[in-house]
Amino acid sequence: MAAGDVDAHYDLIILGTGSGNSIPGEEFDDHSIAIVEEDRFGGTCLNYGCIPTKMFARVADLAYEARTSSHLGIDASVDQVRWNDIQRRVFNDRVDEIARGGEEYRRGDETPNIDVYDGHAVFVAPRTLKTAQGGVEKTISADQVVVAAGSHTVVPPAIANSGVRYRTNKDVMRLETLPERLVIVGGGYIAMEFAHVFDALGTEVTLLVRSNRVLRHLDEEISKRITDIAAERYDVRFGTQVAGLEEAGDGVRVLLEGGDAIEADEVLVATGRRSNAENLHLDAAGIEVTDDGRLAVDEYGRSTSADGVWALGDVSSPHLLKHVANAEQRAVTHNLLHPDDLEKLPHELVPAAVFTHPQIATVGLTEKEAIDKGHDVTVKVQNYGDVAYGWALDDHTGVVKLVADKKTGRLLGAHLLGPEAATLIHQLITAMAFDVPASKLARGQYWIHPALSEVIENALLGLEFDEGAGED
């Protein structure tokens, strides 16, 4: 493409305003920058993902605990679910205001070196993108391009091609009314979190799961336990495939392979996510993708095939997690500013949580992974209900599972299911990140009695190590 075919040239183009929007700090004040965002500022996490879903999950926790408190000697109920008030708190009072403020800031006088483009962007040549600005098509280029374009929901063809409405995480939280019946297709993170939210708020939830377990990627012990809990709480159809959708009055009829059908007010598709790399015409810029469709980058976040192109977050990362995208953003930002002192993308010990009820949190290797890697493992499964605060909770399902190496005394993995799992796991993340032996973590500090954290202490003490392990 000739230089005359380009409307504007920049030092840096940033494609996407999730974690990518955090790149331009004061260190870039002398750079000309274009930010391209066809959707809402803030990306998936702020608008459609981890932030609003957790705000809904908090409300769901309160409702669910009220409805299930009789075992504690309290008979309670939820008198009314004000769906629109919940939405107003989440979106009007928080999410939408932040998204709007972020865009206004980038378009305003405080960042005069930044131009904002709002059309869908595709590559048309190396480091050159066709996009739009205010409805006017524009072609822009740059010395450096950061692709932080995120991911999208994978929709099975039988559903996508049906011509019948379905929902994804992008719009299900903004439904005008709370559905009485909801079918959720999928058994992963998103499916399980929304199942909890809608069931707790009074919706009849049916889960359609292809396999025989939910959250199959987790440690087998945790996956089996949450599967049992889900099967008791929801109508879960295991080994089920969707053959199509039909309109059914004001609702939807879900056709299953084998001939059965389920009628519902709404259908939520939560069958995984895929990189938006497939929508960017990367081949026009000589940008390689991985076998699973992600923009291919090296250990520093650089394209493996195109000079001056970087990527971060869901579009390129194997970890579809906001805290990973943020960490990758910090590394890529450093690398843009310090090309002679590159930092690697931090992909070790990536933790994750699922805000179901009960919560799930995990970090490191599963038991099977540790064995497959050749470790001589020691494992401890500690029930919440065996510690004093577990008695207070009257908990019968919570568990901490630790996987460690017998010879070194180091933790290899931690897997929690139960109240506050996403918070409790952080002591274990810290120990693994800073190479603290399990025995030192257990006995080198006080553990408040009778706090719930004692379940971590007891799990650590239950690990069996070789003599002298962890003393180096």
Catalytic residues: 449
Provide, for the chain, the percentages of residues in helix, strand and coil under a 3-state DSSP scheme, each rounded to the nearest 5.
35, 25, 40
- Per the CB < 8 A criterion, the answer to whether 236 and 222 are in contact is no
Structure tokens at 49: 């993902």
- Per the CB < 8 A criterion, the answer to whether 289 and 277 are in contact is yes
Cis before 358? omega within 30 = yes
- Per the CB < 8 A criterion, the answer to whether 329 and 317 are in contact is no
The CA distances from residue 395 to 233, 388, 390, 417, 450, in Å, are 16, 10, 6, 11, 15
| Phi, psi of 237, deg, nearest 5 | -105, 100
Structure tokens at 116: 């904002």
CA distance 65 to 61: 6
CB neighbour burial string for 397-435, b if at least 16 within 10 angstroms, e if fewer: bbbbbbbbbeebbbbbbbbbbbbbbbebbebbbebbeee
Closest CA to 399 of 214, 185, 225, 187: 225
The count of residues in the chain is: 472
Structure tokens at 89: 């708190």
- Any idea which residue has 């079918």 for tokens? 183
CA distance 382 to 369: 20
